[in-house]
Structure 1
Amino acid sequence: MSSFMSVFASLVEHLATLLQPLFHASATAAAIVLFTAFVRLLVHPLSRAGARGQRDRLKLQPRIAELRAKHKKNPEALQKAIMELHREEKVSPLSGCLPMLCQMPAFFLLYHLFSSASIGGDPNSLLGHTLGAAPLGGRFTDALAHGGLFGAQGLVYVALFVLVAAVATFNYRRTKRQMALSAAATPASDQPQVPGMGAMAKFMPLMSFMTLFSVAYVPLAAALYIVTSTTWSAIERAALYRDMPYAGAAALPV
C-alpha cells in the first residue's frame, strides 16, 4: 500500500509541476481538480449507462403498477415479481449506483494521501501545499483556529461553501420540480404506499446540502475532490436526465 501511495504522490507532484506556470502556489490544488475531472470522465460511460437504465425502468412503471394491484396484499410476492420483471427485461435496478461506487477508491486514495504524515517512510511534502493560504492537508477546524472564518484560510472554505451551496440549491430546486412532475404524472392509485415514504420524499431534495458537512470534515484536498465531483454531477445529471421527471435527481452527487 505504501509503495502504491508513493507512486500516486509522485503522479500528483508531477502533474502539479506541469501546472506550476499557470497556477503557481496553487498548482497542487489545480492538479487535484484536474485529477477529479479525469476520474469523472472515466466513469462518464457508466453514468450514461445509468441514464439509459433509468429510462428502461421508467418504461416498466405501468407493468409494475399492475403487479402492485395484483399483489397488494402480499409484499413478498410483489417484491419477487418486480425482481423477476427486471430480470426478464434485463434492467438492473442498481445501474445508477455504479458511477458513485467506482469513484470511491479514487476519493479514499486522495483522502488517505492528504491525511498521512509520511509516505513510504518519508515526510509527506504534499501536506504543505496550499490553496490560497489554506494547506491542502488542513481541515476547516484548522482554518478556524488560524484567523477564524474570515481569516486568510477561512475565506478559502467560505468560497468552497458558497460553491457547494449554489450547486446544492440547483439540485434541490431541480429535484423538487421533478418530484412534482413525477407525482402529477402518476395516478395516486399507482403510487406505492410505503411507511415513511412521505417523510423520505420531503428529505430527499435536501440531501445535496449534506455535502457542506463533508467539505467541513475532510482534508482540504479531499474537499476539492468533493466540490469538483459534486459540480460535475449536477451538470451531468441535468444533461442526462433532462427528459426524465424525477429520475436520478436526488442521488448522492459525489
Structure 2
Amino acid sequence: MDSLREFFWSARLAEWAPFAGLIAVLRVRRAAIAALLAGWLGAFIVVKGFSPRASIEGNTFWRLLMPAWPAYLLLFAAIPLLVPTLARQLGDRIRPPASKPIRPRWVVLAAVVTVAVPAVATATSSRIHPPTPAVVQEFPSGNILTPVDKGIHVRTERVASGQRITWTDGPWRAKVFYRVYRSFHSGKDIECALSSGVSWACYLRTEPIQTTRAHSYFDASPPRGAVYRIGVATNWANDPNLGDVFAFSPPVPAAR
C-alpha cells in the first residue's frame, strides 16, 4: 500500500475509509452487517493483499482484491452515518424491513441441496486421465494453466537433417503471434502429477525456440525424438517479446 502514494494524493484516506465506515455501521447497531463487511474485506486483504504478487505498479493488487471491492464501497458509503443525528433523521429508512421467520424445514432443505448437488455432480463426473485438456506453464514468478486447443493443427516434415513445422489455426479476434516449443527430452513433452492413475495436473516440459508471425518454422538441429507444440500469444502492445501464451496446440512428434 506504500506505493499507493505515488498514484493517489492520500494513501491514509484510502486505508482508513473502511474503518470509519465500520464504526458508522456499528454506531447504528448493525453488528451483523459490520461483521459481514469486515470479514469480507479483511479476508481478502490478509490473504490476497499481503501476497508478494500484489503490486500497485503492476496493477495486480486491484485485480487480486476485486471480489472485495463491493464491501469496501459499502463501508465507504456508510461514512456519512458518523454525522451526529443523521441516523435519527433517516428514521425508518435505515431500519431493517419486517421479515417472517423461516421454517426449519426450509433451512434443512437448503442445507441438503447445498451439499447434495455438488456431491452428486462430483460422483457422476468422469476422471481426467493424462494428457489433460490443459497444461501448466511454469515461470520463476508463478504458473499459468493454459488450454490445449485441438483447432490448432500442426504438421511436421523431415527436410534434410532438420524438421519443418507448419500449422493452421484461428481465426482469432486479436493480432496474434506464435511461439514454437520443443521438448527437452525425447518422447512426451509433459510431466503429469498422478494419484491412482488420475491426473491432478500436467506440467509443460518444453522450451520456446522461436517466436514468429508466420505459420511455419524450420528447426535445423532437432534432437532425436523431439516433440513440438505451437503456442498462440498476444498482448495489448502487439509486441512478440511480451505477452503470455493463451492456447497450445496438441503435441506433435518430429517426422521420421
Q: TM-score, normalised by structure 2?
A: 0.20
Query: Which structure has the bigger radius of gyration?
Result: 2
* Structure showing the higher helix proportion among its residues: 1
Higher relative contact order (CA 8 A, sep 6+): 1
